[in-house]
């Protein structure tokens, strides 16, 4: 009796149970760096992983058991690293490297990218700490004004005049400025979450076309798609794969749906006899200058290396974009805080001037 169907079902069920709860790591970038060193020294992936894992597990006593079960089921390096919680965008590089054999270099590349991501996260935290503490202090101060100062001022003005002062009403509004900014922030985040949920329900092609219509986001989207496809396609071509084989691999992977769809579109054009540069020129998904670099690579007979060089340029451009965005965050928060402070001054001074007129 053939047992393969139950085995397949059993494997899928085990995969589901394992992936349902990912393993939490500490210093995930360092784990990949150390692993690349051990692989260079001749250790296998499983040996190097189990050698390093005890030092990088975070509150997960059965982490090694899960990994061993995955390896027994024949899971690839990408599957195991996915279970360890590595983001899909970085796993794409490792998945492709398993095809062209440059896994060690891919691990080093991903480790460097994760380190930069962590550095950006830490920088953002440092930028937010002081404004956040200041904003919390302002909220408490405004609460104290609303609770103690404003009622006393209202009582005093009521004794002086029977009419409700416009200045007093204005002061109440100014003292609710932090509430306004908090509600505005929560509304923005809620709308963003709803937008992402709505977008995710659409087909991949519709998602791409919609993102290309949004100002600023379309430039960043083109930058990332071009960076990914130039890096992955360049690596596959350099390893000896044909253009069709490389695009087929990128098309069938499931880690990056946008990349898969763009690879499918390019493959369809190339099947009909177009060159890669011509196909890129006809599509709106790519960053400016990509066509010229691809054309230069085709004419020079070194397309794979040309794509890799261009991807390095785009990585630097991405990092610069992130740095500029981070530099914009703190001044924006200080503007909000300045408006709140101005509102506090006006909320105090307006009733006082009114009292002076009534005296």
- Digits of tens for pLDDT over the chain (359 positions)? 333 333 444 444 545 544 555 677 778 888 888 999 998 888 888 888 888 888 887 765 677 777 888 788 888 888 888 888 888 888 888 888 887 778 888 888 888 888 888 888 888 888 888 888 888 888 888 888 777 777 776 666 665 654 556 667 777 777 788 888 889 989 999 999 999 999 889 999 899 999 999 888 899 999 999 998 998 888 888 877 888 888 988 888 888 899 999 999 999 888 888 888 899 988 888 988 898 888 888 888 888 888 888 988 898 888 888 888 888 888 888 888 888 888 877 777 776 666 665 55
- Of the CA atoms within 13 Å of residue 18, those in its CB half-sphere come to 26
Per-residue b or e along 20-49, where b marks 16 or more CB atoms closer than 10 Å to that residue's CB: eeebebebbbbbbbbbbebbeeeeebeebb
79 vs 17, 18, 22, 259, 277, CA distance in Å? 14, 11, 11, 19, 33
Q: What is the pTM of this model?
A: 0.73
What are the structural domains, with CATH classification, of the chain?
A: 22-86 (no CATH), 111-359 (1.20.81.30)
- Other Cβ atoms within 10 Å of 281 Cβ, number: 15
Q: Which of 297, 199, 207, 296 is nearest to 260 (CA)?
A: 207
Phi, psi dihedrals of residue 22, rounded to the nearest 5°? -75, 155
């Amino acid at each position: 009796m053939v047992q393969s169907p139950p085995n397949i079902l059993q494997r899928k069920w085990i995969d589901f149970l394992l992936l349902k709860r990912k393993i939490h790591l500490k210093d995930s970038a360092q784990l990949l760096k150390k692993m690349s060193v051990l692989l260079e020294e001749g250790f296998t992936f499983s040996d190097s992983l189990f050698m390093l894992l005890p030092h990088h597990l975070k509150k997960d006593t059965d982490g090694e058991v899960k990994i061993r079960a995955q390896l027994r089921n024949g899971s690839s390096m990408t599957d195991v690293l996915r279970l360890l919680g590595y983001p899909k965008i970085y796993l794409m590089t490792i998945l492709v490297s398993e095809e062209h054999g440059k896994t060690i270099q891919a691990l080093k590349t991903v480790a460097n990218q994760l380190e930069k991501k962590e550095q950006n996260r830490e920088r953002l935290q440092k930028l937010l700490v002081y404004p956040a503490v200041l904003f919390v202090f302002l909220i408490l101060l405004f609460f104290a004004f609303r609770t103690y100062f404003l009622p006393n001022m209202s009582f005093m003005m009521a004794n002086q005049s029977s009419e409700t002062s416009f200045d007093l009403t204005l002061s109440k509004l100014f003292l609710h400025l932090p509430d306004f900014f908090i509600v505005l922030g929560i509304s923005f985040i809620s709308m963003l979450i709803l937008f992402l949920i709505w977008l995710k329900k659409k087909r991949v092609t519709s998602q791409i076309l919609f993102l290309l219509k949004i100002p600023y986001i379309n430039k960043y989207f083109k930058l990332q798609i071009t960076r990914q496809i130039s890096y992955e396609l360049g690596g596959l071509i350099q390893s000896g794969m044909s253009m069709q084989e490389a695009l087929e691999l990128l098309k069938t992977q499931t880690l990056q749906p946008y990349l898969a769809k763009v690879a499918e579109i390019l493959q369809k054009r190339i099947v009909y006899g177009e060159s890669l540069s011509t196909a890129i020129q006809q599509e709106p998904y790519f960053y400016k200058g990509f066509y010229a670099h691809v054309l230069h690579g085709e004419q020079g007979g070194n397309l794979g290396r040309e794509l890799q060089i261009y991807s390095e340029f785009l990585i630097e451009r991405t990092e610069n974009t992130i740095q500029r965005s981070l530099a914009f965050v703190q001044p924006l928060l200080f503007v909000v805080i300045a408006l709140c402070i101005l509102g506090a001054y006006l909320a105090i001074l307006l009733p006082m001037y009114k009292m002076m007129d009534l005296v």
